[in-house]
Amino acid sequence: MTDAAALPGQPRGGVLTGPATARAVNVLAPNPSAMTLDGTNTWILSEPGSDLAVVVDPGPLDDGHLRHVVDTAEQAGKRVALTLLTHGHPDHAEGAGRFAELTGTRVRALDPALRLGDEGLAAGDVITVGGLELKVVPTPGHTADSLSFHLPADQAVLTGDTILGRGTTVVAHPDGRLGDYLDSLRRLRSLTVDDGVHTVLPGHGPVLEDAQGAVEYYLAHRAKRLAQVETAVEDGYRTPTEVVAHVYADVDRSLWPAAELSVRAQLDYLDEHGLI
């Protein structure tokens, strides 16, 4: 068995659902799959001693899960006062409308189509609820609307699908762009270097204890894959399907459709930079 501390980002072992930091509790959605890992992490955030909470990514439209999130907050003496979305993929956001009905909250997101209420989210926004402070960090690349949330008091960052607790994520072409994604990883790295962030609270998978190690691993992985795709094109593999079959031969074939999205994003990046 591999020691978790030896894995990229030092994933925390044990049960995924429950307290993760002093201010963050995870409620795992019952939607496990090859793409969602153990399921979607729905985060309840609250300042200790406060009776107000923020929920990030209510998850899929699963009434049992959504009610469980509300119950978990209420059992801790908290009332959900605001709902936030890291991005609009259904496994994170499909249940947001129903969750808003259950809690009477607004839903704030970067994409206006996902919002309920007048306020959206933008780079540099600082959200305060019951003494809790969250800073909005733009992290496009997985999708154009992807955001992360910096939780300074816990030296943590909620990354949605930008960084996962296990494995690597998809650059979801054409909405996701590799250049944007690399910039986002560098932005997250600056949080670890300049702002003391050491914990990643991801959208899927376990909590990561070594945020900087996780970011460095992601950057190295992307550089390696990009070089492999460039070489594959030079060797005559022209279509995204051909490149996937060559470069991702060691990856479960059920994941090849997702890998093809990333390959398309990589091919666009190489073309834009005159490398192919």
pLDDT at 6: 76
CB atoms under 10 Å from CB of 104, counted, come to: 9
pLDDT in tens, 201-234: 999 999 999 999 999 999 999 999 999 999 999 9
With residue 190 as reference, give the H or E element that holds it: helix 178-194
pLDDT in tens, 137-150: 999 999 999 999 99
Average pLDDT of the segment spanning 59-74:
98
Between 238 and 24, name the one with better pLDDT.
24
Residue 31 has pLDDT above 70, yes or no: yes
CA pair distance 189, 113, nearest whole angstrom: 30
Average pLDDT of the segment spanning 188-211:
98
CA pair distance 69, 27, nearest whole angstrom: 6
- In angstroms, how far is CA 178 from the centroid of its own chain? 16
Q: Which residues contact 241 (CB under 8 A, 6 or more apart)?
A: 260
CA pair distance 258, 169, nearest whole angstrom: 9
DSSP code, position 143: S
pLDDT bin (cut points 50, 70, 90) of residue 3 is: low
Average pLDDT of the segment spanning 33-57:
97
Q: Please, is 203 exposed, middle or buried when counting C-beta atoms within 10 Å of its C-beta (0-12, 13-18, 19+)?
A: buried
Among 185, 199, 124, smallest CA distance to 154 is for 199
User: Is the Cβ–Cβ distance between 10 and 4 less than 8 Å?
Assistant: yes
Q: Please, is 236 exposed, middle or buried when counting C-beta atoms within 10 Å of its C-beta (0-12, 13-18, 19+)?
A: exposed
Average pLDDT of the segment spanning 89-94:
98
Sheet holding 79-84: strands in order across? Answer: 18-19, 24-28, 41-45, 52-56, 79-84, 107-108
User: Is the Cβ–Cβ distance between 157 and 137 less than 8 Å?
Assistant: yes
pLDDT at 14: 81
pLDDT bin (cut points 50, 70, 90) of residue 1 is: very low
Rounding to the nearest 10 degrees, give the CA dihedral for residues 12, 18, 22, 24: 100
pLDDT at 269: 96
Q: Report the residue count for the chain.
A: 276
Specify the 3-state DSSP secondary structure of 211: helix
User: Is the Cβ–Cβ distance between 144 and 85 less than 8 Å?
Assistant: no
